[in-house]
Amino acid sequence: MASSKIILAAICIASFYLSASFAFPGHHEGAYPVGNSGLSPDYYKHTCPQADEIVVSILKKAIAKEQRIAASLLRLLFHDCFVQGCDASVLLDDTEEVVSEKNAIPNKNSIRGFEVIDEIKAALEEACPHTVSCADTIALAARASTVLSGGPYWELSLGRRDSKTANMKLANKNLPPPNATLHRLVKFFQRQGLDKVDLVALSGSHTIGMARCVSFKQRLYNQHRDNKPDITIEKGFYYTLVSTCPRTGGDNNLRPLEFVSPSKFDNSYYKLILEGKGLLNSDQVLWTGRDPEIADLVRSYVENESLFFEHYVNSIIKMGNTSPLVGSNGEIRKNCRRVNQEI
């Protein structure tokens, strides 16, 4: 099992760098036929063939400096696509015209990685001015972060354009909170056209990254507003968490979302859930939420990492194609933090 896992990771990484050596193709709107979504893997073939190489090069340095940034950039894709589609609205700062999604409750003091996106975008602008969108930059960074962490490679359709608006109200409505019940999680994903397989597979993104104590403290001290802990937490794991996250204070203390291999994209996340060692309520309820279909998927991913990778790729492609702006809709921002007329 271990050897097959290593071989699979090697194949994925080799495929990634083979792709990077040819870069990601592309074209101007209307120059070539594209899929039903208006996106194509060949989108930058003639206008910025080195786009993916640029993204990978910067990310390798950023991840070497701070491993956590891989998970942060992957999370940006989720928090972008779940709010009015994959349009880079999550990157917009507050202005007189824009109320930033960064200040929404699920995002404030939580989502991060904006400086790395800025660095990537600046390099893309220098190489291929006014060509690669911020929305595609997020998508490219999410894939590279996954692969550089040992996860699967997927063919990425490109051609998303950038929104001129943000929607903080929709961010508060559409982004699942860490204490969500399984029923609510299913509803949040259904709202995006995603099913139960997508929910379980994409939750596996929590195999890398960190979470603040405030995200799971309720489970430790007041799960059902009765001043008692969540009884589904494995006892030894509970005491470990309490030592990091006291009842009062320490809200910004960090814990790995998956402590066995927190910087490696693998199926350990699901193994821990089966043991009662899921960190967030939204993690653990995949197993304890009394949904046989979802529980079976968790068990399947524990037993077969390749199946997890296969489902993950299908689901993240599906999510990444959510309501993209294409053609003449939106714009190609020069600065991902501001719409063009404000620059």
Which residue(s) pair with 161 in the sheet?
A: 325
For helices 51-65 and 2-22, the axis angle rounded to 10 degrees is 130
Domains of the chain: 50-209+257-321 (1.10.520.10)
- Residues in binding site for heme b: 206
| Helix boundaries (H) for 111-260 | 114-127, 134-148, 168-174, 182-191, 196-203, 217-221, 235-244
Of the chain, the end-to-end C-alpha distance in Å amounts to: 53
Who has greater pLDDT, 15 or 163? 163
Helices (H) and strands (E) in the chain, counts: 14, 2
Q: What is the mean pLDDT of residues 94-101?
A: 96
Structure confidence at residue 37 as a pLDDT band (50, 70, 90)? low
Residues comprising the binding site for substrate? 176
Task: List the catalytic residue out of 79, 130, 183, 311.
Answer: 79
Non-local CB neighbours of 284 within 8 Å, separated by 6+ positions: 230, 232, 233, 273, 276, 278
- Residue ranges of the annotated binding site for Ca(2+) are 80, 83, 85, 87, 89, 101, 207, 266
User: In this model, does residue 54 exceed pLDDT 50?
Assistant: yes
Q: Is residue 14 predicted with pLDDT exceeding 60?
A: no
Say what the pTM is: 0.89
224 included as an active-site residue: no
Tell me the sheet residues that pair with 211: 255
Which of 191, 194, 207, 186 lies closest to 280, judged by CA?
Answer: 207
